[in-house]
Amino acid sequence: MTLQRRLILAVLIAAPVVWLLTIGMTYVRARHEINELYDTDMVRMALQMHSVVPLVDVAAAPSRTRLPQLVEGDQGDAGLGDLAIAAWLPDGKPLHLDPEGDLLPRAPGVKGFTDITINKEPWRLYYLDDPDTGWRVCVGQQLGERNELILSYIAAQVLPWAAGLPVLIGLLIWFMRRALAPMRALSADIEGRTPDDRRPLSLEAVPGELVPLVHATNRLLARVSDSIEHERRLTADAAHEMRTPLAALKAQWEIAERSPDEAERAQARANVATGIDRIGRLVSQLLTLSRLEDASGLPSRQPVNWVPVAQQALSDCLGLARQKQVDVELEWPAQGQAPLPVAGDTNLLSLMLRNLLDNAIRYSPPDALVTIDFQPDGITVRDQGPGVAPDVLARLGDRFFRCSTGQREQGHGLGISIAQRVARLHGLEIAFSNWSDGAGKGLAVRIVRSG
């Protein structure tokens, strides 16, 4: 169910319920006020009769069988039959003061207000006694008069509301549709966009409640666009990078198939195997880089022990080091000091260190020394290669970028990119610089905390 339908349904239920509750409260309050008004009038009338009846000619009063008709002319809307007055002598004889009053019972034991039924009509009576003279007075009123007044008052309140309730509900529904129009426009804008559309959603005419949602959506659109652009670049770069080794593989395969020279065919087959290994390494690096680029955080964070991390990286690169006749030396801080404290994933940090060590070994000459120096404030990997031109240092880490120095080495320019991504996930950064001293020169890769 849509939000608009939920709101409309809530209004359709809430408005009549509140309306009925209001009517009920109005009825209770009106009943109380009207009863208070009439009860007060009955008490006052009884007190007045209590003051007047001693002046009545007692000798003549009981002989009257009918009260003279004193009211003449237009009586308007007066309901004389709804109100009655009765009085009794101390000996219990009634005074015929009012024709309707003759219907009222004397009820000697009753004092104050009481409700009874007379001729199938509900009446409210008020009795007042004079303890000194023995006179008894009663004022009565039909309850139908009160109920009629209450209903008239409620009707005066209800009828306008009953006529206006549909109009009110209609206006509320119309205003809700108008209020939700920006949301529908926003949905239409999002639905009509292409996946790579980075334009932020407009905040114009957007209600304040939706501004945080629009900001969050804009950030999501930017991340999605960056991810798509990343995949496009990765795919395009991979296709470009794999074109050359695939073409070389095809050429070597044709040589292996067609060459009459057995030695040439054997060399071609060896070149095919080398090319396959190169492509396999490229695919593996591409998959690793793609996985790291998509990661928004680390799967787990634990305090890292650099000893097994370094041993794993050294073990992975041991075959290459032997092939290149390069020695690798690990240097640790003084006793009592811990190397670069960091919390993270040991497998990823081993991958980072392995890629940096792999590059250092590849670009070092035979019989060179590669050192990994672990210190409390950082880790430094030094090789004894030719170094890097100063204008190229800033580009190290760009995917598929390889400086002209060392092009004789097989590679794809992805190792440093992978290492930098792992470092960023751990709050680290990698810096490059050339070094030289009396013992040699080369490239130094420094791993430190970010910021």
More confident residue, 292 or 169: 169
Residue 21, pLDDT above cutoff 80: yes
Co-location of 317 and 370 in the same domain: yes
Most confident residue range from 107-116, 230-239, 416-425: 107-116
pLDDT tens digits, residue range 75-130? 444 455 578 888 888 888 888 777 778 888 888 888 899 999 888 889 899 999 88
Residue 412, pLDDT above cutoff 50: no
Query: What Å distances lie between residue 401 and 285, 339, 421, CA to CA?
Result: 14, 31, 16
What is d(CA 380, CA 374) in angstroms, rounded to the nearest whole number? 7
Task: Give ∠ CA 241-246-247 in degrees, rounded to 5.
Answer: 105
What is d(CA 355, CA 375) in angstroms, rounded to the nearest whole number? 19
User: Which of 167, 186, 220 is the endpoint of a domain?
Assistant: 167
Mean pLDDT of 274-301: 67
What is d(CA 165, CA 123) in angstroms, rounded to the nearest whole number? 37
In a domain, 442, yes or no: yes
More confident residue, 297 or 139: 139
The domain of 98 spans: 3-57+81-167
Co-location of 286 and 338 in the same domain: no
Amino acid in position 398: D
Q: What is the reported pLDDT for 63?
A: 45
Q: What is the reported pLDDT for 406?
A: 44
In a domain, 67, yes or no: no
What is d(CA 89, CA 58) in angstroms, rounded to the nearest whole number? 8
Which of 19-23, 255-259, 286-290, 438-442 has the weakest average pLDDT? 286-290
Tally of CA atoms within 13 A in the half-sphere of 437 that contains its CB: 4
Give me the number of domains the chain comprises: 3
Beta bridge partners of residue 446, listed in sequence order: 380, 431
What is d(CA 11, CA 53) in angstroms, rounded to the nearest whole number? 62
In a domain, 203, yes or no: no
In a domain, 40, yes or no: yes
Which of 253-262, 278-287, 301-310, 373-382 has the weakest average pLDDT? 278-287
Which of 89-93, 121-125, 344-348, 437-441 has the weakest average pLDDT? 437-441
Q: What is the reported pLDDT for 131?
A: 81
Mean pLDDT of all residues in the chain? 78
- 147 Cβ neighbours under 8 A, 6+ residues apart: none
What is d(CA 106, CA 273) in angstroms, rounded to the nearest whole number? 127
Co-location of 286 and 304 in the same domain: no
User: Which pairs with CB-CB distance under 8 Å and at least 24 residues apart come from 190-195?
Assistant: 190/217, 193/221, 195/224, 195/225, 195/228
Query: Considering the entire predicted model, what is its pTM?
Result: 0.46
In a domain, 190, yes or no: no
Q: Which residue has the tokens 């995949």?
A: 231
Co-location of 134 and 16 in the same domain: yes
DSSP sequence for 246-270: HHHHHHHHHHHHH-S-HHHHHHHHH
Co-location of 276 and 345 in the same domain: no
Co-location of 243 and 319 in the same domain: no
CATH number of the domain where residue 216 is located: 1.10.287
Co-location of 425 and 380 in the same domain: yes
In a domain, 172, yes or no: no
Q: What is the reported pLDDT for 410?
A: 47
Of 283, 42, 228, nearest to 141 (Cα)? Answer: 42
pLDDT tens digits, residue range 371-404? 999 999 999 999 888 878 777 666 565 554 455 4
In a domain, 244, yes or no: yes
Q: What is the reported pLDDT for 12?
A: 79
Co-location of 41 and 123 in the same domain: yes
User: Which of 262, 292, 322 is the endpoint of a domain?
Assistant: 292
User: Which of 167, 200, 231 is the endpoint of a domain?
Assistant: 167
Co-location of 25 and 139 in the same domain: yes
Co-location of 155 and 250 in the same domain: no
What is d(CA 260, CA 276) in angstroms, rounded to the nearest whole number? 23
Classified as helix, coil or strand, 432 is strand
In a domain, 253, yes or no: yes
